[in-house]
Structure 1
Amino acid sequence: MKDIQVDVLVVGSGNGGMTAALSSHILGAESVMIIEKDKCYGGTSAMSGGGVWVPCNRYAKAAGAADSLDEAFSYLRETIPREDTSDEMLRTYLKYAPEMIDFLHKNSDVRYESLAEYPDYFSSATGAKFGHRSMEPAPIRTSDLGEQFRYQNAPNPMIKVFDRLQFTQQELHLLMGQLPGWLTIVAREFIKYILDIPMRIKGKQSRRLTMGAAGIARLRLSLLKRDIPLHLNTKLLDLILKDGRVVGVRAERNGTPLIIRAKMGVILAAGGFEHNQDLRVEHLARPTNAQWSAGSRCNTGDSLLAAKRIGAATRLMNSAWWTNTVSVPGESYPRLSIFEKSLPGNYVIDSSGKRIANESQNYMSFIKELHSKHIDSNSNEPYHMIFDSTHRKNYIVGPLFPGKMWPDFLIPKSYFKNGFLSKENSLSALANTIGVDAKALAETVKQVNEYAEIGKDRDFGRGDSAYDRYYSDPTVKPNPCLAPLAKPPFYAMKLDAGDFGTMGGMVIDGQARVLTSSGDPIPGLYATGNCAMGILTTYPGPGSTLGPAMTFGYLAAKHLTGSA
């Protein structure tokens, strides 16, 4: 059996793990190693939008944004239950998240851009801001990573336009609503794509990386410059204890067993358990299905289970980072359905033919409402997004580009064969096809048409908040989130109660040390990301998972290197 000795071992190669490894090395650990279970690095982080929610960050300050940590704390305290997260942990996050960003900016190739107009998700709460609290990674080129880019996890299918081009979050905001300037952006990137002859010889993918792919690429580039090894196809089996201290791990690389000893400590950053169906059934709300998750398929709870075996306490195991997903035939992962259900004329119904909640609210809150209305004995699934030909013509819905660009005869037949997409010339026929009560569906459509006319959603208040209106069409009056569903043919796209990771995990303290049920730290063991308990549990703004993952990875590095 191979025996390896390092100062610091990091398990997992997402934003949290890479930040922990990079910070450990910068702060003095001579030998740092990352192991990754998957054949690619980056985990769910590489597939994500890449946003990082950090109030008072350097990029917001440079843009002149008015904010304070006290305002941010007031906002978090009003929107996150005290039983979820303590004052101490919230203040720790707010204090050290900007410091972590400064540290990476000064010591690595990590760069972000402030999202000036992306509002906090609970925009009417005390201390909420309408922009400059979330950042997105600055774009980077695949060629900057050289051959290493071949091993980076691919973005979620929703992020690649035409399965080729990648755009920033700010650009996608314009594209989704077809707001002024969107055509210029598409034309600019398409021309650059066509003229990049060397890349066209190699394949169809653009050289430009954005969002989560750019965030991981920048971290990976920084690791490469410091010769920090990252070993793929290496699965954690167990933690090794000696005199009550974690001194390493037992692992398996390409089927070969090995022991990796860590002199300073082991940092677990290996994601949640979203693709472990047994754990989902044991802990999560119904309906639940691993196939609906957009999280990395290697996230089966290995590090969580290993930590529990040596006495680690867990919290928040009954929740996840919820979002609607759509499982498109032929695609490798479900798409996150965040944008389209907010656009006017698109409504979500359950098996009764009735709406569930405000479709334009943040995705986490929407699924929480869905779960609250689900009864196992009388399931309200399946769920569908319904829309008419006017909406189909003008907006993106899942994999469908607007009909004025991509008419129905170009839609793959496979979309219709398995019930993913339905199309009928009448509402009654559509109800029959998707298996809902025709009278209930007709009444739902009558109501939304009335609400669109008066500009007020009397059932759920759709369009009332600033966040609701972020993904909307400002040309639609009087409410940019509401439009009638009136012109045939009518469509229904199947929607799932998905997620992009689980929230529950190991209990940690303000230094990212893993704690036992009695509250004592397990010496030598740290955790961050989705294998640790959630911090910003209600998802108060874009990037509420990656921000804490990176921050507590940084804090783990500070503690184990003696730099705290």
Structure 2
Amino acid sequence: MAKAREAWDRIADVIVVGSGGAALSAALLAADGGADVLVLEKADQIGGTTAVSGGVVWVPCNAHMAGIGVADSREDALAYIRALSKGSEPDASLLEVFVDSAPEMIAHLEKATPLRMVPTRGFSDYYSPYDVPGAKPEGRSLEPVPFPVGAELPGWRDRLAGRITMPTLGAYTTLEEDLSGHPPDPAEIARRQSLDIRPRGAALIGALMKGLLERGVDTWTGAPARELVIRDGAVIGVRCERGSEPLRIGARRGVVLACGGFEWDRDLVRAHIGYDLYPVSPPNNVGDGLRLAMQAGAQLANMGSYWGTGAMIDPTLLRDGVPYPQFDAARGAPGTLIVNRYGHRFVNEAVPYNDFPRTFGTFDPLRVAFANPSPAWQIFDHRLKESMPILSMQPGAPAPAWVPQAPGIRELATRIGIDPDALEDSVRRFNEHAARGEDPDFRRHEIGLQRAVAPRPVDAPPFYALPIYPGTLGTNGGPRIDADARVTRPGGGVVPGLYAAGNSAANAFGWAYPSGGGTLANAMTFGYRAGRHAAAQPDREL
């Protein structure tokens, strides 16, 4: 007996849910494979977390490395990733798939779109000081050349997300410019602003979006996916909304979920991570992809993991009238230390940002509670305060009233509700060793993000304190995928017609974050493979 046909409002070959780096890479490869592609984005702007990110993509063995004289190999890349993931990866074979496919992915996107990537000079792998095998001094982390959104995407410039208010991240400068110590002169910054030339994640999204428009790919904003259409266990479409209108969209070849993680859904975070996180990502990441995959019976993996960072809250920086988390500022800088609510140091303050917030999840069986409950406190002195911007606090200007400060450490402890004896003892011990450039308790003089920086004493009054929280760039647990980003089922096999990539899928690296751009590289590589595979599938009768 013939199956009844579904009633569709539109039919495409491939539907991509989301519009960040993973999603647009999937859409481009599907289009290049001859598929009719429809991109569905819930927000009013495209770009997702990628557009407000640094835009760096970590690609071992990429073709740009030879130009700066850095050799790389498959063996070195795999040794480095495996040393960091330590068996936490959901599928060990995907590490090889990533290393083999990432250079191919970035080369294809540069050839097929206006995207141009360059190595960020002097930007080493994050764990270079840790004696991890296979680390490289530079070259694997690529960043996009600033993209002229105003000239190339005039009809989309207001619908392309840009850098949200993040004082620790440049809105019109590249990462290399920031790291060089020689930023562009004000005239160049003004030129980029007036012409809407965007660097970083917005450049990456702008260039990929230009490629989609050149291919005639349809992209809908304000179109949240609400439910998958499933027939006989296969995903054949999506129920979505556009405006207030419910729509049924059929997918002849497949649906790609690439719509972020679940970090803004507190219930999901507490259920899977176990403690509250403070996201620095766009607030639309509430687990849409995870729920859709679960509806299809997906096997889940890596659910307790996330891309970490320290987070701070500045009450003068608002979104929709409410303060929201910012990337931490000055963590690990000379003249700073971090203590928990008991007044004790508990971490090397300069460790890679992915690792720092995980210390908040340490359980103390003697207290029968988390050992380092949020928030912790970053303590610093006036010399540090005058050396760099910290959130909206500027050198040379009085510290704002919302920043706790005091002439002495004991008085500061009283202001922030910490035992004065404990904080005074912690600072005294830290200072004694820092005066010799050492940190025997947490090895700050030996290891840190990319390089070790010797501590210095916190001894120049007045003293300041800022609360610091476990933050996240996004969760990275979700449906387990195979080499072509097909969503797998418990017990084996795949969900026909369903793919996932980026933070909507289980991170191929497990808990690891290899270096700057590891998030985007993982996302775009498996988005690339998903789009290519989906486009090659035969049409299904809908």
TM-score > 0.5, shorter chain as reference? yes
2:295 partner amino acid: R
Match of 1:216 among 163, 184, 205: 205
Q: Does 1:137 align with 2:177?
A: no
Match of 1:93 among 94, 98, 101: 98
SS in 2 for 1:127: coil
In the alignment, which residue of structure 1 is the partner of 2:373? 380
- C-alpha contact 1:386 1:491 (8 A) present in aligned 2: yes
Match of 2:429 among 432, 447, 459: 447
Provide the rounded CA distance (Å) in 1 between the counterparts of 2:455 and 2:9: 62
Gaps of 5+ in 1: 201-205, 471-479
Shift of 1:376: 3.5
Provide the rounded CA distance (Å) in 2 between the counterparts of 1:195 and 1:156: 20
- C-alpha contact 2:334 2:456 (8 A) present in aligned 1: yes
Deviations 1:302-348 (A, max 9, x none): 121122122111011112111111122133342112x6213211222
- The normalised TM-score by structure 2 is 0.91
SS in 1 for 2:102: helix
Q: Using a 3 Å threshold, how does the CA distance of structure 1 residues 379 and 483 change in structure 2: closer, same or farther?
A: closer
Q: Does 1:150 align with 2:158?
A: yes
In the alignment, which residue of structure 1 is the partner of 2:4? none
Map 1:454-465; keep pairs closer than 5 Å.
454-465=436-447
Shift of 1:395: 2.0
Shift of 1:467: 3.3
Provide the rounded CA distance (Å) in 2 between the counterparts of 1:387 and 1:207: 37
Provide the rounded CA distance (Å) in 1 between the counterparts of 2:117 and 2:190: 27
Deviations 1:21-54 (A, max 9, x none): 011111221x111001111111111111111111
Provide the rounded CA distance (Å) in 2 between the counterparts of 1:335 and 1:213: 18
- C-alpha contact 2:362 2:371 (8 A) present in aligned 1: no
2:123 partner amino acid: Y
Provide the rounded CA distance (Å) in 1 between the counterparts of 2:370 and 2:112: 56
Deviations 1:475-507 (A, max 9, x none): xxxxx3412111111111121111010011001
Match of 1:540 among 501, 509, 514: 514
In the alignment, which residue of structure 2 is the partner of 1:475? none
Match of 2:41 among 19, 30, 36: 36
Deviates more, 1:513-522 or 1:74-83: 74-83
In the alignment, which residue of structure 2 is the partner of 1:317? 303
Structure with greater helix share of residues: 1
In the alignment, which residue of structure 2 is the partner of 1:8? 14
- C-alpha contact 2:309 2:473 (8 A) present in aligned 1: yes
1:109 partner amino acid: P
In the alignment, which residue of structure 2 is the partner of 1:370? 360
1:240 partner amino acid: V
- C-alpha contact 2:362 2:370 (8 A) present in aligned 1: no
SS in 2 for 1:356: coil
- The normalised TM-score by structure 1 is 0.88
Q: Does 1:496 align with 2:483?
A: no
Provide the rounded CA distance (Å) in 2 between the counterparts of 1:20 and 1:212: 17
- C-alpha contact 1:160 1:166 (8 A) present in aligned 2: no
Shift of 1:157: 2.2
Provide the rounded CA distance (Å) in 2 between the counterparts of 1:83 and 1:195: 46
Shift of 1:373: 5.0
Provide the rounded CA distance (Å) in 2 between the counterparts of 1:466 and 1:439: 29
Shift of 1:466: 6.6
Shift of 1:468: 4.8
Deviates more, 1:300-309 or 1:78-87: 78-87
- C-alpha contact 2:235 2:254 (8 A) present in aligned 1: yes
Shift of 1:195: 6.0
Match of 1:46 among 42, 48, 51: 51
Match of 1:487 among 433, 445, 460: 460
Provide the rounded CA distance (Å) in 2 between the counterparts of 1:195 and 1:543: 27
Q: Using a 3 Å threshold, how does the CA distance of structure 1 residues 563 and 55 change in structure 2: closer, same or farther?
A: farther
Shift of 1:378: 6.5
SS in 2 for 1:380: coil
Shift of 1:19: 0.5
Provide the rounded CA distance (Å) in 2 between the counterparts of 1:265 and 1:15: 18
Match of 2:178 among 164, 172, 181: 172
- C-alpha contact 1:27 1:563 (8 A) present in aligned 2: no
Deviates more, 1:392-401 or 1:11-20: 392-401
Provide the rounded CA distance (Å) in 1 between the counterparts of 2:499 and 2:370: 41
Map 1:349-498; keep pairs closer than 5 Å.
349-372=339-362, 376=369, 380-401=373-394, 403-404=395-396, 407-408=397-398, 411=400, 413=401, 416=402, 421-465=403-447, 467-469=449-451, 480-498=453-471
In the alignment, which residue of structure 1 is the partner of 2:188? 192
1:371 partner amino acid: G
1:70 partner amino acid: E
2:133 partner amino acid: T
Provide the rounded CA distance (Å) in 2 between the counterparts of 1:387 and 1:372: 24
Provide the rounded CA distance (Å) in 1 between the counterparts of 2:281 and 2:123: 23
SS in 2 for 1:347: strand
SS in 2 for 1:370: helix
- C-alpha contact 1:14 1:44 (8 A) present in aligned 2: yes
In the alignment, which residue of structure 2 is the partner of 1:74? 79
Shift of 1:193: 3.9
SS in 2 for 1:121: coil
- C-alpha contact 1:360 1:463 (8 A) present in aligned 2: no
Provide the rounded CA distance (Å) in 2 between the counterparts of 1:439 and 1:94: 51
Provide the rounded CA distance (Å) in 1 between the counterparts of 2:376 and 2:533: 47
Shift of 1:379: 5.7
1:383 partner amino acid: A
- C-alpha contact 1:40 1:232 (8 A) present in aligned 2: yes
Q: Using a 3 Å threshold, how does the CA distance of structure 1 residues 316 and 252 change in structure 2: closer, same or farther?
A: same
Match of 1:336 among 327, 345, 349: 327
Q: Does 1:560 align with 2:534?
A: yes
Q: Sequence identity, in percent?
A: 33
Provide the rounded CA distance (Å) in 1 between the counterparts of 2:191 and 2:260: 39
Provide the rounded CA distance (Å) in 2 between the counterparts of 1:135 and 1:222: 19
- C-alpha contact 1:159 1:166 (8 A) present in aligned 2: no
Provide the rounded CA distance (Å) in 1 between the counterparts of 2:340 and 2:189: 41
Shift of 1:62: 2.6
Deviations 1:107-145 (A, max 9, x none): 111111112322222221011112111111111123132
- C-alpha contact 1:422 1:492 (8 A) present in aligned 2: yes
Shift of 1:524: 0.8
Q: Using a 3 Å threshold, how does the CA distance of structure 1 residues 129 and 423 change in structure 2: closer, same or farther?
A: same
Provide the rounded CA distance (Å) in 2 between the counterparts of 1:166 and 1:253: 33
Gaps of 5+ in 2: 1-6
Aligned length: 520
Deviations 1:30-83 (A, max 9, x none): x11100111111111111111111101122233221111111101111111224
Q: Does 1:228 align with 2:217?
A: yes
Provide the rounded CA distance (Å) in 2 between the counterparts of 1:129 and 1:108: 28
- C-alpha contact 2:360 2:372 (8 A) present in aligned 1: no
- C-alpha contact 2:124 2:450 (8 A) present in aligned 1: no
Provide the rounded CA distance (Å) in 2 between the counterparts of 1:453 and 1:60: 40
- C-alpha contact 1:25 1:32 (8 A) present in aligned 2: yes
Q: Alignment RMSD, CA only?
A: 2.1
Map 1:233-382; keep pairs closer than 5 Å.
233-286=222-275, 288-289=276-277, 292-329=278-315, 330-332=317-319, 333-337=324-328, 340-372=330-362, 376=369, 380-382=373-375
- C-alpha contact 2:333 2:455 (8 A) present in aligned 1: yes
Deviations 1:512-556 (A, max 9, x none): 000000121111111000110011231011111110110011111
